[in-house]
Amino acid sequence: MLNMSDIMETITMIREENLDIRTITMGISLIDCADADIDRSCEKVYRKIYSHAKDLVRTGEVIEKKYGIPIVNKRISVTPVSLLAGVSGGDPVKYARTLDRVAHDVGVDFLGGYSALVQKGFSAGDRELIDSIPQALAETELVCSSVNIGSTKAGINMDAVSLMGEKVREAAELTKDRQCIGDAKLVIFCNAVEDNPFMAGAFHGITEADTVVSVGVSGPGVVRSVLSKMPKDAPLNEVAETIKRTAFKITRVGQLVGTEAAEMLGVRFGIIDLSLAPTPAVGDSVAHILEEIGLEQCGAHGTTAALAMLNDAVKKGGLMASSSVGGLSGAFIPVTEDAGMIAAARAGTLSIEKLEAMTAVCSVGLDMIVIPGDTPADVISAIIADEAAIGMVNSKTTAVRVIPAIGLAEGEELDFGGLLGSGPVMKVRSQSPSVMIRRGGRIPAPMQSLKN
């Protein structure tokens, strides 16, 4: 039987510690929508997404009420659109408009998959799609875009890296009147995963089933809260054990919600992504967990070690709780979305270099970092290349989502509002990497032995 303390623990987690289901994401394959005529292709895309996802939002709300747990977002991920653009030709922005329209019509919060996978090279549709990203993101509201430019098996496509530096700048320029919001919806990946339910990097991989429902659970507040009840002299292995146990409980809720949602919608259950995803709300911060472990402020020496332990313990707890753990699963460190990170960046404790080191041990990468508006495209490309190199060598996913704040300089602040938060413009090195970036070509795939 259930006992009182278990029941109270669950209720406290949800009511006071911000435990929530961050997202129910429906992955929909668009392969069967490809048509040589782009308008016909768009029409098929609209019809397929609408017919599969029309009940998604309502289903989410029913589950929310049944279990009394908030489901913050309902989202859709689709097959990388470059594949459709490759078949149909024409202006890929038409797809973006179609996706935005259907996303509004079914009532989801975001739709991801305006994507291209070019880790080894460009095929038909890839370059056209990448060229259209800034315009697509400026014209649409709910569409998210991602580009995979490297992998452990293929190396890093430096032509794509160079191109993406320019696209990030263009996307910021085109949306400069709206807090450069275009770049908050654009992620550049190395080793992108195909079943990630989190935005902006979600897309529905080509090896996935036709339609699946995946769930992203979150709960940095819950982890911070259990750690705050531990004595300050508890050894780190005990801290890790406690994190593991908490991650287990959080994941079980995700498993319940995911299975039920899939059943109600009549589709397969995909995966649970148990990432600790912060929000700007007080008490929902990953940085505060690190500080609870014993750092004066996130960004201090020791941050990388604490984060490595946290990330690993979260995965271990989650794996025990569900046999369908996938996606990114770990701890996210998006700067503008995390109250503790924002404070650390403002205080100057947290620098881009430290964040880069942190990304070597956690999911995902340099995320939601505001950089000076006059940062040249070459420098952005070099940031992408550095981050991709960490992912490539360590066989992990890394990503870059930086926002050049047009018109703002170091120290000023950019405020998106809502879940995207706000943050200070962070210092970027001004020395030029342009000769290296303009070389283009490919960084060969790394050795998998002699690892030192």
| Residue among 308, 381, 358, 426 nearest 157 (CA) | 381
Interface residues for other proteins in 256-275 (CB under 8 A)? 256
**Which residue, among 268, 278, 276, 273, has the nearest Cα to 254 in the 3D structure?**
273
Nearer to other proteins, 11 or 209 (CB): 11
Residue 226 near residue 242, CB atoms below 8 Å: yes
Q: How far is the CB of 17 from other proteins (least distance, A)?
A: 13
Residue closer to other proteins, measured from CB, 177 or 263 = 263
Query: Within 47-76, which residues bind other proteins (CB under 8 A)?
Result: 65-69
Tell me how far, at minimum, the Cβ of 66 lies from other proteins, in Å.
5
Q: Which of 253, 325, 342, 406 binds other proteins (CB under 8 A)?
A: 253
Nearer to other proteins, 4 or 435 (CB): 4
Binding of other proteins at residue 249 (CB under 8 A)? yes
Judged by beta carbon, residue 29 or residue 322, the one nearer other proteins is 322
State how far the Cα of 401 lies from the Cα of 200, in Å rounded to an integer.
Answer: 9
Strand partners, 27: 77, 212
Residue (5 or 452) nearer to other proteins, CB: 5
Nearest CB to other proteins, comparing residues 222 and 361 = 222
Check: CB of residue 18 under 8 Å from CB of residue 68. no
Tokens of 422: 């706000």
* Min separation Cβ 263 and other proteins, Å: 12
Q: Which is nearer to other proteins, 4 or 450 (CB)?
A: 4
- Which region among 95-103, 119-127, 245-253, 351-359 touches other proteins (by CB under 8 A)? 245-253
Q: Applying CB under 8 A, which of residues 115, 255, 303, 311 lies at the interface with other proteins?
A: 255
Q: Which is nearer to other proteins, 12 or 123 (CB)?
A: 12
DSSP string, 152-190: TTTEEEHHHHHHHHHHHHHHHHHTGGGTTGGGGGEEEEE
Closest distance to other proteins from the beta carbon of 15 (Å): 8
Stated as kind and residue range, the H or E segment containing 215 is strand 211-218
Please tell me the count of residues contacting other proteins according to CB under 8 A: 20
DSSP codes joined into one string, 51-83: HHHTTHHHHHHHHHHHHT--EEEEEEEES-HHH
Q: Which of residues 6-25 bind other proteins (CB under 8 A)?
A: 6-11, 15
CA distance 366 to 358: 9
| Footprint of other proteins on 182-211 (CB under 8 A) | none
The burial of 304, by beta-carbon neighbours within 10 Å (0-12 exposed, 13-18 middle, 19 or more buried), is given as: middle
Minimum distance between the CB of residue 72 and other proteins, rounded to whole angstroms? 16
Given the DSSP bridges, would you call strands 413-415 and 422-424 parallel, antiparallel or unpaired?
antiparallel
Are 340 and 375 contacting, i.e. CB atoms less than 8 angstroms apart? no
Helix (H, G, I), strand (E, B) or coil at 270: strand
Reduced to 3 states, what is the DSSP secondary structure of residue 288? helix
Closest contact distance (angstroms) between CB of 125 and other proteins is 43
Q: How far is the CB of 8 from other proteins (least distance, A)?
A: 7
Closest contact distance (angstroms) between CB of 256 and other proteins is: 4
Give min distance, CB of 158 to other proteins, in A. 47
Pick between residue 245 and residue 427 the one whose CB is nearest to other proteins: 245
> Which residue of 97, 245, 252, 316 would you call a contact of other proteins, by CB under 8 A?
252
Asked whether the beta carbons of 165 and 437 are under 8 A apart, the reply is yes
Contact positions vs other proteins (CB under 8 A) = 1-2, 4, 6-11, 15, 65-69, 249, 252-253, 255-256
